[in-house]
A and B are shown apart, each in its own frame.
Chain A
């Protein structure tokens, strides 16, 4: 069974962390992943940097620009990850934009993911119908889970369709906006979290965009299975470097 599906069966709220591969320094990727697992994180999204990240706010844009300046490429990322399964056992997902994957070759990219032990992909600018018609068979051949996004504006019919072609979890974008940290959620989010929670979808939902601390993590996971933190963690890396990852994770989990 795919590590993502296994993880989703655990009886707990899941904390997933996003970071940009090759940030702060090119060779930090593996160390960050190992430290996140040791700190008690349940799942990791490895950001493949792109020059034009449309869905991202300023924090992730800046980390992507830095990672590219550091020399990160798809090739180098796979090289860095080649022995990752010797030390890390939690699910790993690559989150990136479609263009770099197309240049690598979608099938070649999927094959590499399988070889190094990546379990799934999140590709925000890959349309649902293109996946369904062109890529689903390839993803399935290599045992990869593709994760789709829904937003507060996504219609009920579309959510049901996305649920029907998903086989891991649904990435619930918390509010209209690009990625970025928020300090708390308002009523609109609470209503949206409840509405989706009550739809009885076959796939569990994990909330992302705007989660930054223990408070937003708790609010987001009231109904949902878990939450994803990105920008707040990148900010932590920017200010504190890679040495105190456990401090960040503990504060989100409300330990201490």
Chain B
């Protein structure tokens, strides 16, 4: 059998993945598992999905040759401009796909979790578009530190519910969303925000995000006369923008995949979110994957200056890419990321999300050859992070 890094028919990537869920969730997850591929590849679904991505999200997102950045690092760097999408990040590719899925499953009520609020905003947006009830769970602590996104969600008509359990951040918001789904098994669809959670979520979200690398293929063909780069670089929180940027190249070993994680204040500082390095095999939110935990198996709270990267787990696809060494994993500290964010702003006139700044920071440590073609997934724009940049650089 041909080696593949895609999910297998049982919902696993190597030994990672699966659906480790309480029986109360089984009917919901099973319904989705049985139907997601059929629904996604229906002609009418594809048509509506593509139309919305084009007219509403603004796709295709440009593939931009970053000349001054390339000159500085003496290599060829293309930026995949997911920051130009409606709502400012790649997250909306997934929420558009899932809201169409929810409609076809006959669901009327949408729930979601959010950390920094990006996925919450992207979900509230598509719910407004489709006239669906929307409830977003958000950790009590995140609600207080991400006020503008909370206001955006409210303005879009969503109800934001505080997760008050555990550490009151993203992982607890996810727990609350799952508990809501347990209590509302019939009318509700859970729009999960990354390639995490029980099968089929990681695969479904990856397929919706795959539009990123589908576009890279023809865009590179136009610009370089070949459809693949030498390296694809993306930051990894849960792993959805990386999954989308890697997707078409997962089994194409000519392409080196580089996943960038947040080292926070340093990998071994005790304040980090470098899940692949610090994590152990276990179960989080219904998926077997690598996650940060104590020796006794209690899940710990990660830290990163970027709210979108501080998830204690990582999607099972990425756990497998790490374990099998198919992808290169690099971790970047807060300081390195912030510096790289400022550099891109001044070299190319693009203010990136701090998540993306982590990916950009690798050019200072990881050297590339002059004639190598690199695509870096610019997952989001920095508007939401202005306050953090202002505080950090005393602007």
Contact = CB atoms under 8 A, between A and B. Distances in A.
Interface stretch (B36-44, B277-285, B374-382): B277-285
Interface stretch (B66-74, B176-184, B255-263): B176-184
Contacts of B27: 151, 153-155
Interface stretch (A123-131, A234-242, A246-254): A123-131
Given A55-B22, A55-B182, A58-B165, A50 B298 contact: yes
B297 interface: yes
B129 interface: no
Contacts of A158: 26
Given A54-B175, A176-B24, A102 B283 contact: yes
Contact of A100 (B18, B20, B286, B297): B297
B222 interface: no
Interface stretch (A38-46, A68-76, A196-204): A68-76
Given A75-B296, A99-B297, A102-B282, A154 B165 contact: no
A51 B18 contact: no
Given A99-B282, A99-B293, A178-B182, A61 B22 contact: no
Interface in B255-307: 280-286, 293, 295-300
B185 A125 contact: no
A51 B300 CA distance: 8
A79 to B, nearest CB: 13
Interface in A36-87: 50-55, 57-58, 61-62, 65, 68, 73-75
Contacts of B26: 151, 153-154, 158
Contact of A52 (B19, B182, B284): B284
A55 B181 CA distance: 11
A97 B296 CA distance: 12
A54 B20 CA distance: 11
A93 interface: no
B182 A103 contact: no
A151 B280 CA distance: 32
A94 interface: no
B55 interface: no
B250 interface: no
B280 A103 contact: yes
Which of A51, A75, A124, A176 has the most chain B CB atoms closer than 10 A to its own CB? A51
Nearest to A61: B165
Contacts of A101: 297
Contacts of B20: 98, 125-127, 130
Contact of A151 (B24, B283, B299, B300): B24
Contacts of A127: 18-21
Contacts of A148: 23
A92 interface: no
Nearest to A176: B185
Contact of B283 (A73, A97, A177, A178): A97
Contacts of A124: 22-23
B21 A125 contact: yes
Given A126-B20, A178-B183, A99 B283 contact: yes
Interface in A125-178: 125-128, 130, 148-151, 153-155, 158, 173, 176-178
A125 B165 contact: no
A125 B21 CA distance: 5
A68 B20 CA distance: 23
Contacts of A68: 298
Which of B24, B178, B283 has the most chain A CB atoms closer than 10 A to its own CB? B24
A98 B20 CA distance: 9
B148 interface: no
B171 interface: yes
A52 B168 CA distance: 11
A177 B182 contact: yes
Nearest to B280: A103
Which of A54, A57, A126, A173 has the most chain B CB atoms closer than 10 A to its own CB? A54
Nearest first, the 9 A-B pairs at minimum CB distance are: A100-B297, A103-B297, A149-B23, A51-B298, A55-B22, A73-B296, A124-B22, A153-B27, A99-B283
Given A55-B182, A127-B21, A154-B23, 17 more contacts: A51-B299, A52-B172, A58-B165, A68-B298, A99-B282, A99-B293, A99-B297, A103-B280, A103-B293, A103-B296, A103-B297, A127-B18, A149-B22, A151-B26, A153-B27, A177-B183, A178-B24
6 contacts: A51-B166, A124-B23, A125-B286, A127-B19, A176-B182, A178-B183
